[in-house]
A and B are shown apart, each in its own frame.
Chain A
Amino acid sequence: MDNIQPTTDPVRPKAPLRSWFDVRGRSLSTLAFALNRLTAIGLTIYLFLHLAVLSLLLRGPEGWDQFVALAKNPAFLLLDVVLLFGVVYHMANGIRVALVGMGVAHTRQKSLFYVLVGIALVAFVVGAVLIFVE
């Protein structure tokens, strides 16, 4: 059963990025899928950046204080807002994918998307305001 013919096409080689992110003419579910991939890639990059930033602590208080001053810059706060969107969207859609992926409520996957991502968007707006106000 393992030896199924590959679907390789020498004329049109597979292009994962185009396959994942070309959402033209596609449905809401594909948009959800593409955004999930995009936020996953973004959050993975962020994780490494976060570790790099934390390593500033090895340089002592001076290096860390410099970073904290930079982090209070409005442009940097905007990056925090982007990060917050990535986190809340990936979490909400992740719950949907986990539920649907185990065959729970899979026939209502679009409704699940609206409910969970709707809650995530509300959390995002509140969080974004707090980032700038606090």
Chain B
Amino acid sequence: MTERDIEFKVFRYKQGGAAPAHQTFTVRCDENTTVLVALQDIRRDQDGTLILRHSCHHASCGTCGMRINGREELACVVKVFELGTPTVVVEPMRNMPVISDLVVDMEPFYDRFNAAGMPFIRESEYLEEAEVAEGLETYMRCENCIECNLCVSACPIMGTDPTYIGPAALAATWRVVEEPRGLDSRPLLDWVDSQNGCWRCHVAYECNEACPSGVLPGDKIMSLRRELTKRKFRRLFGR
């Protein structure tokens, strides 16, 4: 197995501390080393104060999202050698407040889902007999979106407008509109038919490129627009 020393230039920031800066670490890697494993090695062997977030190690949980060499990726599935660069630059996701090092505050992300008043689990999917696990208020709907925030980080409009609803919440809204299963989707359509809603998107489609689970948020935003355009025409002609 080939081994090589790889340099990692890691974004460092502590609240109340010095201004953000990059710190360089050298890690011995082989062809199976992922960026997440390398970062864990740094934390274990070189600097225990390095803060990162992770859980499943197989692209299911969406918690290890970060920018690797300037692109939004899940660190657990990016192999260091496949990047092909002698130095790997690792930074926290953009467009969410950074808490510490590679960890961002995800509250504005989840707030967008909640603000929609969108049911995370639809009535038709809810099993009366299902007991909600300890520590959870309710079950959340399981869809392709793993709520990793990579699309939000990649979106150039999120980098401009702090109140833009953003690709993830808009894509989730489309899921309900597309398949309402008895729900009234009109309030949701009203919500996204706004300056900060789906009309704020400027068709850069970087969300589609960043999404690790095939949600294609950009396509969903355009589907919402098509639906709203139809609705506006229907209203125009009094139907």
What total count of A-B pairs have CB within 8 Å? 117
How many interface residues does A have (CB within 8 Å)? 37
The smallest C-beta distance from B14 to any residue of chain A, in angstroms, reads: 10
Cβ of B107 under 8 Å from chain A:
yes
Chain B positions within 8 Å of A97 at CB level: 202-203
CA distance A24 to B89 in the complex (A): 13
Asked if B97 and A27 make an inter-chain contact with CB atoms under 8 angstroms apart, the answer reads no
Q: Among A7, A12, A16, A26, which residue has the most Cβ atoms of chain B within 10 A? A: A7
Chain B positions within 8 Å of A25 at CB level: 69-71
Q: Given contacts A1-B116, A4-B112, A27-B205, is CB(A100)–CB(B70) below 8 Å?
A: no
CA distance A4 to B230 in the complex (A): 27
CA distance A12 to B97 in the complex (A): 8
Asked if A106 and B160 make an inter-chain contact with CB atoms under 8 angstroms apart, the answer reads no
Chain B interface main SS type: loop
Cβ of A66 under 8 Å from chain B:
no
Cβ of B147 under 8 Å from chain A:
no
Q: Given contacts A1-B115, A4-B111, A33-B204, is CB(A103)–CB(B95) below 8 Å?
A: no
Within 8 A of B (CB), among A82-104: 97, 100-104
Cβ of B117 under 8 Å from chain A:
yes
Cβ of B8 under 8 Å from chain A:
no
How many chain B residues sit at the interface, stated as a range, is: 35 or more
Q: Given contacts A6-B162, A19-B160, A20-B160, is CB(A33)–CB(B203) below 8 Å?
A: yes
Asked if B226 and A102 make an inter-chain contact with CB atoms under 8 angstroms apart, the answer reads yes
Chain A positions within 8 Å of B94 at CB level: 12
CA distance A12 to B107 in the complex (A): 17
Chain B positions within 8 Å of A30 at CB level: 156, 204-206, 209
The proximity string for B residues 116-137 relative to A, scoring 1 for CB distances below 8 Å and 0 otherwise, is: 1100000000000000000000
The smallest C-beta distance from A119 to any residue of chain B, in angstroms, reads: 19
The stretch of B28-36, B55-63, B74-82, B217-225 that contacts the partner chain = B217-225
CA distance A19 to B138 in the complex (A): 37
Which of A1, A8, A20, A36 has a CB less than 8 Å from the CB of B191?
A: A1
Cβ of B20 under 8 Å from chain A:
yes
CA distance A12 to B41 in the complex (A): 27
The smallest C-beta distance from A112 to any residue of chain B, in angstroms, reads: 11
Which of B97, B115, B226, B229 has a CB less than 8 Å from the CB of A8?
A: B97
Chain B positions within 8 Å of A32 at CB level: 204
Cβ of B163 under 8 Å from chain A:
yes
**Which 6 residue pairs spanning A and B have beta carbons closest together?**
A103-B226, A19-B159, A29-B205, A106-B222, A6-B162, A33-B204
Which B residues lie at the A interface, using CB under 8 A? Answer: 13, 20, 69-71, 94-98, 107-108, 111-112, 115-117, 152, 156-160, 162-166, 191, 196, 201-206, 208-209, 218-219, 222-227, 229
Given contacts A5-B111, A14-B160, A102-B226, 17 further A-B contacts (CB under 8 A): A8-B162, A9-B95, A12-B94, A16-B159, A18-B159, A19-B159, A20-B156, A25-B71, A29-B203, A29-B209, A30-B204, A30-B205, A30-B206, A33-B156, A101-B203, A104-B226, A109-B205
15 examples of A-B residue contacts, CB within 8 angstroms: A4-B112, A4-B115, A6-B108, A7-B96, A7-B97, A9-B98, A10-B97, A11-B98, A12-B94, A19-B158, A33-B205, A36-B202, A102-B229, A103-B224, A106-B223
